[in-house]
Each structure stands twice: as C-alpha cells, then as structure tokens.
Structure 1
C-alpha cells in the first residue's frame, strides 16, 4: 500500500489520483506521522460496500437462527403467500 503525506496530497492531488486509478492500490494519507485517511478508487469502494452489505445480511441471518427466530417451510410459505401470488 502506498503512503503519502497530507501535504503531498495537497500539492500533487492530480498525480496521486492518476496513480490510484492506474494501480487500483489504496493510498494511506498521514498527518503529523499518523494515519489519517485512505484514498480508494470509486469502484473498489463501491465493491467493498456491496460486500459489507452481504456480510451484514449473513450476520443478521445467523443471529436470527441463534435466537430461534426461524420459520418452518410451511410457516414461511404461509407468511409469504400474499407476495407469491
């Protein structure tokens, strides 16, 4: 992963963005020697968000099973019958 100072980002934003789009490699921005932000390509960010949504859905499903909030096949069909017509 590439690391850049925030002052370098201010001075060379166009070049850093061009490199980012070409390499697809995230850039860590530091301020006063400390990590401050990550610069990501838009497509990579959107893909990451989609993955997070899927993982959150799986986690909710696992939690529901663990808590016993599940339906049998016949119960599910009954509850969904109004949408399956």
Structure 2
C-alpha cells in the first residue's frame, strides 16, 4: 500500500488522484507520522459499502436463526401472500 504525507497530498493532489485511479491501490495519508485517512477509488469504495451491507444483512439473518426467529415455508408463504395482494 502506498503511503503519503498530508503535506504531499496538499501539494500533489491531482497527481496522487490520477495515480490512484490508474492503480486502484488505496493511499494511506499520514499526519505527524500517524495514519490519518485512506484515499480509495470511488468505485472501490462503493463496492466495499455494498459488500458491507450484504454482510450485515447476513449477520442479521444468522442472529435471527440463532434466536429461533424463523418461519416455516408455509408460514412465510402465508405472510408474503398478504403483502402481495
């Protein structure tokens, strides 16, 4: 992963962004020697957000199963038929 100082980002933002779009490699921005932020390509960021949403929904489903909050096929079909009328 590429690491850049915040001062370098300020001076060379256009160049760093162009390289980011080309390489698709995230850039770690540091301030005073400490990690401060990541620069990531917009499409990569949106993909990560979609993936996170899917994983969160899977976790909710697993939790519901573990808590016994499930429906049989016929119960689910009955509930859905009320919504689809």
**In 2, Cα distance between equivalents of 1:59 and 1:68:** 14
Partner of 2:61: 61
- How much has 1:49 moved relative to structure 2? 0.3
1:15-34 CA-to-partner distances (Å, cap 9, x unmatched) read: 00000000000000000000
**In 1, Cα distance between equivalents of 2:34 and 2:84:** 54
- How much has 1:84 moved relative to structure 2? 3.5
Partner of 1:52: 52
Give the root-mean-square deviation of aligned CA atoms.
0.7
Gaps of at least 5 residues in structure 1 are none
- How much has 1:82 moved relative to structure 2? 2.0
**In 1, Cα distance between equivalents of 2:39 and 2:9:** 10
- How much has 1:83 moved relative to structure 2? 2.9
Gaps of at least 5 residues in structure 2 are none
Partner of 1:79: 79
Match status 1:16 vs 2:16: yes
Instruction: List 4+ stretches of structure 1 deviating above 4 A.
Output: none
| Number of positions where the alignment pairs a residue of Structure 1 with one of Structure 2 | 85
**In 2, Cα distance between equivalents of 1:83 and 1:25:** 45
Q: Where in structure 2 are the equivalents of 1:26-37 lying within 5 Å?
A: 26-37=26-37
Q: TM-score, normalised by structure 2?
A: 0.97
